[in-house]
Structure 1
Amino acid sequence: MRIVTTDDSAHVAAGGTGSDSDNTGAEPNDSPQAALGEATFATPVLDRRHWARIVLGPTAVLTVLTALLGFMYLAYIADPEKNLHDFPIALVNSDVGDVLGSGEQRKQVDFGKQVTDALVAGVPADQIDLRVVGKSESEQLLRTGQVYGAIVIPGDFSKRLGILGTGSIVPGEMERPIITLQSNPRMGAYGVGIVQRIGDQALAEVDKQVGIQLTEQVRATLAETPAGAPPPQVSGAAMITLESPIDVVAQEFRPLPSGSGIGLTAFFFSLLLLLAGMVGAMVIHTMIDSQLGFMPTEYGPWSVHYPPTPISRFRTLLIKWGVSALVAVVVSLVFLVVAQAVGMPVDNPLALFLFSVLAMIAVGWTALMTLAALGTAGLLVNLTLFVILGLPSSGGTVPIEATPTYLAWLAEFEPMHQVFLGVRSILYFDASYTAGLDRGIWMSLLGIAIALVLGTIITRYYDYKGLHRKHTAAA
C-alpha cells in the first residue's frame, strides 16, 4: 500500500510512477522494505486548516472541560458551611416545666420553652431549617433520612435547673440538666460534623443566657434572707456551675455497622453503578460499531476494518440497548458479590441488586441514546452529564444543603443524585421508600423513558432522511 502526496498524485496522473525520479524505465524497487512486503508512506502535506483541527481542536475542548471540571469540584468543597442553606435539623422540647419557690414566691417556669424560643430566634433561618417536632416525629425523620440531626430537650429539664439553683444554696448533690445533640451518621460523616458544629454554637449561646438567668435567681434568693439569719454561702464551684448549667451530650442515632465506611459506601457503590453504566455504554457502542464495520478494530499493531453492515441506525441502537440491559444484570450481580466479599453490610441484597440493574439500564440507555444522536460529540456530553456535573451534585460526600444553590438545582435531575438516594436508602435506611428509594426508582424509570423516546425519534428520523452510516470524505 502506498499513500501519495498531492505532488505525487499529479505526477501519476501525468503517467509517472509517483517517485522522485524522472526515469520512467527505472528498475523495480529492490529495497528490503519492498522485499518484505511492507508499506511505504510518503510524508503528508497538511495545510493550516488541518493543523488547526489537529492542534487547536483538542486544546480548546479540553480547556473548556477542565475549566468546568475544576470550577464544579472546587466550588462545592471549598467552604461548605458558607454555602449552607435549608439544612434540616429537628428540635424536640419534651420539657413539662416546674414550680420554683414556696409560698408567695412560687411560680411556674418552663425553661424548655425558653431554650426552644432562643434556638428558633438565634439560628439563621436562611441556613438552618429548624423543625420543632415531637419526639416520635423526630425519630421518624431521623430513621428515614429527612433530617441530619436533632436537638432534644428532656422532660425534666426545668426541674433539674430548679434543683441546680436550690442545690447551690442548700448542701447536696447537683446534676446539670442535659440537652442531647443527636446526629444521623447514616446521612454521611460530613453532615454529622455540620450538625455538631451548629449544635455547639447554638447551645453555647443558650447555655450562657440560661446561666445568666439562673445566677440572677439565686442572687435574688440570697437577698431575701431574713434579718439576723446567717446568709447562705455559695461556693465558687457552684457559681461556675450556675454560669454554665447545661450539659450538652452528643449522641449518634442508629450508629452505622462496621464496614460502612463512615457512611461513604453508599456513595462509592452509586459511583460504581454510574461509571459502569456510562463506561459500559461507551464500550458497547465502540465494540458493536467495530463488528458492524462502522469503525476499525485495533489491538496494538493489528487492525481490521470489517465491511459495513447494511443496518439502520434504529436497529443498531436496539441491539446496543439489549446488550446494555444484559450487562446491567451481570455487572450488578458482580458488584453485589464483591460487596459481600469485602465485608460491606448489605441487609437487603435483592433490593440492592434490582435497583442496581434499574439504575445501570437508565444510565446506559441514556448514554447510548446520546451517542446515537450526537456521535463522537456524545462522548463529551456523557462525560459532562454523568461525571463533571454529576459527582458534585450527588450529595454523597458533602450534603446538598451545604453546596452552592446551583448544585442543589442540578441535584433535582442529575442521574448521580437519584442513584445515590436509592442506594443510600437500601443500605442505611432499611430500603425505606420515604428515605429516597421512591425517588431513585421513579427518576430511573423516567430516564429510561426519555432515552427510549428520544433514541427512537432521532434514529428513525436519521433513517427516514437517508442519513446512513457510511464513510464520507472530509473537505
Structure 2
Amino acid sequence: MTATESGSTAGGNNNRSERRSWVRAVLSPVGVLILLASLLGFMYLAYVVDPEDNLHDFPIALVDQDVGDTLGPPGQQQQVNFGKQVADGISRAVPADRIDLRELGINEAQLQMQSGKVYGAIIIPSDFSKRLGILGVASVVPGDVERPIITLQTNPRTGAFATQIVNRIGTQIYPQVNAKIGEQLTEQVRAQLTPQPGGAPAPELTGATLVTLESPLHLVTEEFRPLPDGTGQGLTAFFYALLLLLVGVIGSMTIHTMIDAALGFVPTEYGPWYVHYPPTPISRFKTLLIKWGVMLLVANIVSGIFMIIANALGMPITQPLALFLYGAFAILAVGITGLSILAAIGSAGLLVNLILFVILGLPSSGGTVPIEATPQYFGWLARFEPMHQVFLGIRSILYFEARFSAGLGRAVWMTGLGLTIGLVLGAVISRYYDYKGLQRGSTARV
C-alpha cells in the first residue's frame, strides 16, 4: 500500500467516525426527548381526561340519625323508620365499584371529615320519619308543613374537584331515592283515606297534593368547615407543595453543577467566555458532603422565604412553625436524594430526577384531582412518590390544623424515609467509587 493510499484510507476512516459522531450527537437527544415527551403526555393526559370514568373507592360517609316514628290511624299504628329505607336505597343506588360508602355515626363522620379521610357526607336527620309522617297527614288535613330534609355535606378542604364529584353524586342519587320514598308515602296516604258518612266515596287527592307526595324530600347542600379567603378553593396546598418539590429538584441540579464547576470538574461558560478551573484534589464523598451542606442551608432559607411571600399575598397560615419546619424538611429530602442520584450516575441523573420527582410525581400527587378519580396505577405511584407525601403534609398543615391523622404523620414518616434513602445511597456509592480509585477527571474517548 502506498503512502497516498494509506492517507486516503485514514481520511476515510476519520470521515466515517466523524459522521457517526454527528449521528450519535443528533439522534441521542432526539430519542431521549421523544421518550420523555411520550411519558409526559401519557401521564398528564391520563390524569385529567375522564376523572369520573376513573372513579374508584371514592370515600363518602352515610349518616342515618333517624329514630323512626309511629304512624297510622288509631288502632292501626305501626313503627316506621323511613331513614333506614332511605339509607338502604342510597346504598343500592351508589355503585360499589366507584364509591366507598361508609355508614358511620355522626361523631365518626365528623372526625373523618376533619382529617380529610372522606370527601363528603350524606346525613339523614333524627326527625326524618316524623317529618315525613307529618307531610303525609298534612296532605289530607289543613296546616303548615315542611318537607323532610337530607343534607349533603361537602368537604372543601379536600379540594374543589372532590367537592364537584360529591355534588354530582348527590344529584344523581337524590332523584332515585326521592321517587322511591314518594311512591311509598303516596300509597300510605291513600290507604288512610276512608269513605265518607252516608256511603260517599273516599276523597281523592288533589293534583298539587300528589305532586308533593311524589317528591317529598328536600336536598340541602352545605360545606363542612368552609375554607377561608386566600386558599384558592383548596389549591394553595398543592402549589405550595409543588414549590417545595421544585426547589429540591432544581436546587440539587444547580448545586451539583455550580460546585463541580468551582472545584474544576466541569467547565463553565459565561456567554462567549469559557472557564475551566484545575481539578481540586478532593474525594467524591467529601464533594457530596459539601453539596449536602449547601442544600441544608438553602432548604431553611427558602422555606422561610416562601412563608414570607405567602403571608404577604394574604394566604392564611395558622401553623407557621409546622409549615416552616416541614417545608425545610421536604426541600432537604428531595434535594439530598437528587444530589445522591447525580453523584451515583452522573449527568443521566438529571433525567432520573425529572422522571421521579416531576413527570411521575405531579399527576400522582392528588393535589388537583383526587387519587380516587384517576387511573388506579396513580394510586400505586402515590404510595411512594415524593410529591404525594409532601402534598399530604402541606394540606394537613394549611387546612387541618397540622393533624397527624390528616396526612402529616404519613408525610413526615415518608419524607424521613426518602431522606434516609438519599443519604445512604449517596454515601455508599460515593465511598465505593473512592474505594475503587475512580477519581473524577477526563477519560479516554470512546
Using the size of structure 2 for normalisation, the TM-score is 0.95
The offset of 1:222, in angstroms, is 2.3
- Structure 1 contact 320–368 (Cα < 8 Å) conserved: yes
What secondary structure is seen at the aligned counterpart in 1 of 2:191? helix
Is 1:340 the counterpart of 2:311? The answer is: yes
- Match of residue 152, structure 1, among 123, 137, 141: 123
2:176 corresponds in structure 1 to 205
Unaligned runs of 5+ in 1: 1-6, 11-43
Q: Are 1:274 and 2:274 counterparts? A: no
Deviation, 1:62, is 0.4
Residue in structure 1 matched with residue 63 of structure 2 by the alignment: 92
Aligned pairs, how many? Answer: 436
Is 1:418 matched up with 2:393?
no
Alpha carbons 2:72, 2:192 under 8 Å: kept: no
**Whole-angstrom distance in 2 between the partners of 1:227 and 1:140:** 61
Deviation of 1:234 (Å): 2.7
The corresponding residue for 2:417 is: 446
Give runs of aligned pairs for residues 69-80 of structure 1, distance below 5 A. 69-80=40-51
Q: Tell me: CA distance 1:153–1:224, structure 2 relative to 1, closer, same or farther (3 Å).
A: farther
Q: Residues 226 and 201 (structure 1 numbering): CA distance in 2 closer, same or farther, change over 3 Å?
A: farther
CA apart distance, 1:335: 0.2
> Match for residue 81 of structure 1?
52
Question: What whole-Å deviation, never above 9, does each CA across 1:258-314 have from its counterpart, x for those lacking one?
Answer: 000000000000000000010010000000000000111111112210000111111
Query: How far, CA to CA, are the matches of 1:162 and 1:248 in structure 2?
Result: 18
Q: For 1:298, what is the secondary structure of its paired residue?
A: strand
1:226, CA displacement in angstroms? 5.7
Matched, 1:50 2:18: no
- 1:48 deviation in Å? 2.9
SS in 1 for 2:62: strand
SS at match of 1:394: coil
Instruction: Verify the 8 A CA contact 1:184 1:253 in the aligned structure 2.
Output: yes
1:239 is displaced (CA, Å) by: 1.1
Q: Return the alpha-carbon distance in structure 2 between the equivalents of residues 297 and 51 of structure 1.
A: 23
Q: Secondary structure of 1:151's partner? A: strand
Equivalences for residues 112-191 of structure 1 within 5 A: 112-191=83-162
* TM-score, reference length from structure 1: 0.89
2:225 to 223, 235, 254: 254
Q: Report sequence identity in percent.
A: 64
Stretches of structure 2 that go unaligned for 5 or more consecutive residues are 8-14
Asked which structure has the greater CA Rg, the reply is: 1
Give how far 1:45 is off: 8.6
Q: More displaced, 256-265 or 121-130? A: 121-130
Distance 1:462 1:473 in 2: 18
The answer to whether the 8 Å contact 2:196/2:202 transfers is yes
Per mean C-alpha deviation after superposition, the further-off stretch among 293-302 and 266-275 is 293-302
Task: Give how far 1:462 is off.
Answer: 0.8
State how far apart, in whole Å, the 2-side matches of 1:262 and 1:45 are. Answer: 61
What's the secondary structure of 1:90's corresponding residue?
Answer: strand
Kept in 2, the 8 Å contact 1:94–1:153? The answer is yes
Aligned equivalent of 1:39: none
Q: Distance in 1 between matches of 2:348 and 2:197?
A: 90
Deviations 1:143-166 (A, max 9, x none): 111100000000010011111111
Deviation of 1:179 (Å):
0.3
Determine if contact 1:169/1:233 at 8 Å carries over to the other structure. Answer: no
| Structure 2 partner of 1:17 | none
Kindly provide the amino acid, as one letter, of the partner of residue 212 in structure 2.
T
**Displacement of 1:448:** 0.8
